[in-house]
Amino acid sequence: MFVVESPIGPLGVIVEGDVVVGVRFGVACAPDASHPATEQLRAYFAGELTDFSVPVEMRGGSEFERAVWGEIAKIPYGEMVTYGAIATALGDPGAARAVGTACNHNPVPVIVPCHRVVGAGGKMVGFGGGLERKRKLLELEARVALTRAWG
């Protein structure tokens, strides 16, 4: 594991070779490292990167959780989708809470953008890294998306 400093606090990045297998919030007792994930996370937080290309392996999780993580990975930069919309996309419109639980179990937050999943009506609810981090990530993406759209 190595640490990447960010505007939302230190991120512990767990890799096996070139593949990212985990991201943890608030980890401060690991060295910095030269790795493509470090470079991409820094570029993301600088507003220079909107799509991660670093290889990721989503380990663990139930079949449902893996399906949710797959849907989350499709959410475009700067956009938000509700828990209910993901549940509906997976064929179970009543599973919004289960989607929230699956988001909380996302082993690679930020890179697999569970922060882009919001409550009904865009309400800011739930995030394994805390609502303040979620708000900062959404604000960063909104600011970058607007700047790119309007120059």
Rounded CA separation 35/37 (Å)? 5
Pair (81, 127) in one structural domain: yes
Specify the CATH number for the domain of residue 116.
1.10.10.10
Cα dist. 45→39, 49, 54, 86, 115 in Å? Answer: 10, 8, 15, 26, 14
Categorize the per-residue pLDDT at 126 as very low, low, confident or very high, splitting at 50, 70 and 90: confident
Q: Is residue 94 part of a domain?
A: yes
Phi, psi values for residue 47, rounded to 5°: 80, 15
Residue 76 shares a structural domain with residue 133: yes
Residue 15 has pLDDT above 90, yes or no: yes
Of 11, 114, 117, 140, the active-site residue reads 114
Q: Are residues 42 and 67 in the same domain?
A: no
pLDDT for res 148: 87
Asked if residue 104 and residue 41 are part of one domain, the reply reads no
Please report, as a single letter, which amino acid is at residue 68.
V
Please say whether the beta carbons of 113 and 75 come within 8 A. yes
Residue 1, pLDDT above cutoff 70:
yes
Residue 34 shares a structural domain with residue 77: no
Print the domain residue range for 137: 63-150
pTM of the model: 0.93
Percentage with pLDDT > 90 across the chain? 83
29 is catalytic: no
The pLDDT value recorded for residue 37 is 94
Each residue of 12-29: b (16+ CB within 10 Å) or e? bbbbeeeebbbbbbebee
Determine how many CB atoms are found less than 10 A away from the CB of residue 49.
Answer: 16
Indicate whether 82 and 36 sit together in one domain: no
In angstroms, the CA 83 to CA 119 distance is 6
83 plus 144 within the same structural domain: yes
Domain-embedded: residue 58: no
Judgement on whether residues 87 and 15 belong to the same structural domain of the protein: no
Considering the chain, what is the average pLDDT of its residues?
93
